[in-house]
Amino acid sequence: MSPSLDLQKDKTIMGHDLPTPEPESPNRPRKPYRFSTLCATVENPAQKDQFGSSSVPIYQSSTFKGVGGEYDYSRSGNPTRSHLEHHIAKISSAAYAFAVSSGMAALDVVLRLLKPGDEVIAGDDLYGGTNRLLTYIKTHGGVVVHHVDTTNPESLLPFIKDGKTAMVLLESPTNPLLKIADLAKIAADVKERAPNAIVVVDNTMMSPYLQRPLEHGADIVYDSATKYLSGHHDLMAGIITCNSDDLAKQMGFVINSIGNALTPFDCFLLLRGVKTLAIRMDRQQTTAMAVAEMLHRLGFKVHYPGLADHPGREVHERIADGYGAVLSFTTGDKALSERIVGATRLWGISVSFGCVNSLISMPCVMSHASIDPATRAARGLPEDLIRLCVGIEDPADLLDDLERALLEAGAITVSAGADEHAYVRATIQRQGAAISRAVEKLAFNENAARPLENREWFVSAPGKVILFGEHAVVHGVTAVAASVDLRCYGLTSPRHDGKVGLNFADVGNFYHEWVLDDLPWDSVTSVDLGNEHPEQLDQRLVDAITKRALPESIEANPMAKGASIAFLYLYMTMAHGGERPSFNFSVRSTLPVGAGLGSSASFSVCVATALLLLHQRIDLPGLPPPTREPHNDDPGHIHVSHRGRRAIPHTIAEEANRWAFVAEKVLHGNPSGVDNSVAVFGGALAYTRPGFARKGGMEAISGFKSLRFLLTDSRVPRDTKRLVAGVSAKKLEEPEIVGRILEAIQSITDEARRALSDPELSREALLSALSALIDENHAHLVSLGVSHPVLEDIRTKTIEHPYRLSTKLTGAGGGGCAVTLVPDDLSDSILDSLLQSLSKKNFVPYLTSVGGSGLGVLSPHDPANYGDGPGSEPLRAAFEEKTTAELADWAAKRGRWMYV
C-alpha cells in the first residue's frame, strides 16, 4: 500500500497546527494563527518543495518510479493531493482529510460504511442529490432510511436505536430552506443512545471557515468543494474529514479501491481557491445579509439565519461563526417566482452555489427536481421557493438587479406617495389565484385567454374482465384481461358561476357542488403542460381534499367519497395558467359498480379524458369519414384503431391512460395499471408485473376473437386488499405449495394466449380449450383461498345439467363477480333458463361480449351532437334520466363516436 494510505504514518503529517516562527519571545508568546492566515498559508513541514516554490507544484503523473518510495500510483497517492489534504485537515480541525472527485462522490464513500439492515436517520430537507442517493441505497442496499425534522433534536430520539442506528446524516443550515440543526445536541444524544452510530454532517453550506462540525461531536464531515472551498466553479471536488483512525482507514481503503480520488490538476486548482476562502466568504455573507434584509423589508418570507426572526438563529450562532451566503424566499405563487428568476440579469440562473458569481434558481424545478412533488410537499418544500446564492459582485449592483426583477415580474410596486425608488410588496390573491389573468397567460406562454367552453363533452370507457391470472399477477404471473361491452359514461355540461358539480346517479344518487375558490389550492402542486404526473401521489393534496373539501354527508357513501377525491385530485392537479373551468360532471354506468369488472378504472378514464379536454391539455383530431370502418349496421359508429397511434408521443389515448392511472392510485393505492389500460385501449392484453424473473410490461393480444360471456354479480362486496394480503401471507407460510400454484397459473395464461392468438385454431377448438383452462384456473384460485360460497354457488348452478358451462371467479374474488364462457351453439332457451335461475337466487347476470372498443368520445366536430345544430338539445337532462337498461342504446344514437 502507498505510504499516503498508511494512516498511522500519515497522522504525523496531517495535523492542523501550523508551526509558528521560532524563537518566541518570552515576553510576548505567539498566538495561534487565525483562520484567514491558515487558509492563505499552504505549508506542510513534511513536504518541503526542493525549489522553494510558493505555489504547490502539480505532479501530473500517474506513476512514480522506484520501489518502496513514498508514492507509486496516483490513484493511491499523489504529492499534490497530499498537500491539499494536509491543508484541508489543518483548517477543518481534523486529523485526516480526503479529496475525491465530487461532493456526491464524498457522500458515496461515506455511505459505503453501511451494510444491509443498517438504519440511517437523515433530515427531511436535504439536497436533491443526497435524497436520490439515500433512496438508491434504501432500494438496492437493504438500508432503512428515516427522514425526520432535524431542527427538533427530540424528533430523532424515537429512531435512535443501539445496535440498529448506524448513521445520522445532517445538514445545517439545510439546503434550500436554511433550517438549523443543533449539531452538538444531536451528536451528544446519538452517542449516549447508540455509541457506535456515526454522525455525518454535510457542511457545504458553511465551509470550514464558518462551521467545523468535528468540534461539535460529528464523526465525519464532508463538503462539496465545488462550492465555497473552490469558489470559482471551475472544478468538481469533494472533501471528507474525520478524526477517527478506524474511519479514516475504512474510507481510505474505499477511495483507493474505487479510484475516485481527486486528480492532481484539480487538487492544484482547489488549493488555489482555498487560499481566498475567508476573504470571499466575508464579502459574500455581508451582501447576503443586505439582500435578506431587503426582501424581508418588502414583506417576503425569507429563510436566512442572520435575520432576527429566524427560528434557528440562536442555535446557529452557538455552533457557527457566520450566517453564510445562501438564502431563499417565497413569493406565494410559483408562476410569479418563475418570472422573477427569468427577469434577473446579473444573477445567473443555475444550480449550485458558492461561486464568486451570484446565482438564482428555483430548487423544485432545478436542484431538487429529482425529489417527487408529493415528497417535496410532505417535507414542506414550497414550489414557489427561490434560492439566492450571493457572490462577490458589488452589493449595490446585486440589490439593484434583484429589485428590478421583482418590479418587472409584478412582485413589488411603487409605494403610494413615495419617490420612484420606494417599493412595497404587490398584493397577490391567495389560494393559488394569479396576480392577474393576463400575467398568468404570459407565464405559461399563452398570449390570449382561453375561450369559454360551451360544449358538452360526452365520453365513455369499457369495463374489463380478467380471464386468467388474477391474484397470481401480484406475484409476477402473467394475467390476461379484456374489455367488456359494459361501459361507464361521463358527461360535462358548461356552467360559468365559479362552481363545479359532481353527480353519481348510480352510486346513491350522490350530488355535490364546490365553490372553486374554496378548494384547497394552497396544497396543490400543478403539473405543467407537457409534463407527466410524478410516480408518487401528492399525499398532501389527497389529505387536504379529504379533510377540507368533502361534505360530511359523504361518509355514508364510501364509493362516492373515493370517486370524489379522485375527481378533485385530477381537476386541481391538471389546472394551469390560472384557469379553473366551471362545469357539471355527471357519471352513469351500465357496469355493476364494485363487482370487480373495472368500474373504477372506466370511471377513472372518463374523468381523466373529460378533464384533459376541459383543461385544454389535449386536442381531438378531426372526425374520420363516416364511410371508414363502419361498425355493424350503424354508419355513425366510427372505430379508429389504436394500432400505430399508440407509438405517437402524447396521443389522446396515452395521455388519458397516464392520468387515469393517477386516479386509480387515488382510489386503490397501488394498482397494476391493467384495468385503466384495458379501459383506454380496449381489446385484450397480457400483463406481467415488473420486478420478477419474467419480462414485465403489457402486450396486446393480436387477433383476439370476440367471445360471449355471462358476467354474474354476486352482490357480495369483497375486500381486495385483505384478499391480496391473504395470498401473500399464504405464500410466506407455504412457499413451495403456493409457488407450484403460481407456476400452474402461468402455464394456463401462456396456453390461453397461444389459443387466442392462433389464427389456425378452429372456433370449436378455441372454445373447448378456453373452457378447460377456465375450470383449471378457478381450481387454483380456490386453493389460494380467494373464492367465496356465493361464487361457488354461481359456479355450481352453471355447470349443472343442462348448462354444463365453465365458470370462474374474476378480480379479487371473495364475492364480486363470476365469469361464464358462453358457447356459440348454446340455445337461447337454455341461456334464458340460466339467466332466470341466477336472478331467482338474487344474483344479477349480464350477457355481454369481450374484446370491444376502448375509450370513446362523442365527436365535437359534428354540430348536431352538442347543441350547436338546428333543433338540438343539451344532453344532460336525458342522460341523467335514462334507466341503466336504456343508457347504452341512447348513447350510441347520439351521433358519431370516436373510439380508441
Amino acid at 741: I
Cα separation, 467 vs 684, in Å, equals: 10
Contact by Cβ (8 Å): 444, 335: yes
Residues 6+ apart with CB under 8 A from 768: none
Rg of the chain over Cα atoms, rounded to whole angstroms, equals 34
Three-point CA angle 713, 787, 697, nearest 5°: 85
Which stretches does DSSP call E strand in 50-187?
96-100, 119-123, 144-148, 165-171
Give one DSSP letter per residue of 106-128, joined into a string: HHHHHHTT--TT-EEEEESS--H
In which residue are the cell numbers 432510511 written?
145
Please tell me whether the peptide bond between 802 and the residue prior to it is cis, using omega within 30 degrees of 0. Answer: yes
**Helix H or strand E encompassing 546:** helix 539-548
Contact by Cβ (8 Å): 555, 512: no
Cα separation, 362 vs 385, in Å, equals: 6
The separation between CA 85 and the C-alpha centre of its own chain, rounded to angstroms, equals 39
For β-strands 510-515 and 499-504, DSSP reports them as antiparallel
The three three-digit cell numbers of residue 502, written as one number? 359532481
Contact by Cβ (8 Å): 166, 190: no
Please tell me whether the peptide bond between 23 and the residue prior to it is cis, using omega within 30 degrees of 0. Answer: yes
**Helix H or strand E encompassing 503:** strand 499-504
The catalytically annotated residue of 6, 33, 73, 75 is 75
Q: Give the largest CA-CA distance in the chain.
A: 121
Q: Is 127 annotated as catalytic?
A: yes
Cα separation, 212 vs 320, in Å, equals: 8
The separation between CA 897 and the C-alpha centre of its own chain, rounded to angstroms, equals 35
The catalytically annotated residue of 202, 384, 401, 675 is 202
Name which of 108, 101, 113 is nearest 75 in CA terms.
101
The separation between CA 468 and the C-alpha centre of its own chain, rounded to angstroms, equals 32
The three three-digit cell numbers of residue 28, written as one number? 510576548
The catalytically annotated residue of 90, 212, 227, 753 is 227
Task: Write down the H helix ranges in 685-825.
Answer: 720-733, 735-757, 763-783, 789-799
Q: Is 75 annotated as catalytic?
A: yes
The three three-digit cell numbers of residue 215, written as one number? 468540534
Name which of 118, 669, 132, 658 is nearest 375 in CA terms.
132
The three three-digit cell numbers of residue 47, written as one number? 513536504
Cα separation, 393 vs 358, in Å, equals: 7
Count of beta carbons in the 10 Å neighbourhood of residue 836: 10
The three three-digit cell numbers of residue 16, written as one number? 492542523
Residues annotated as part of the active site: 75, 127, 202, 227
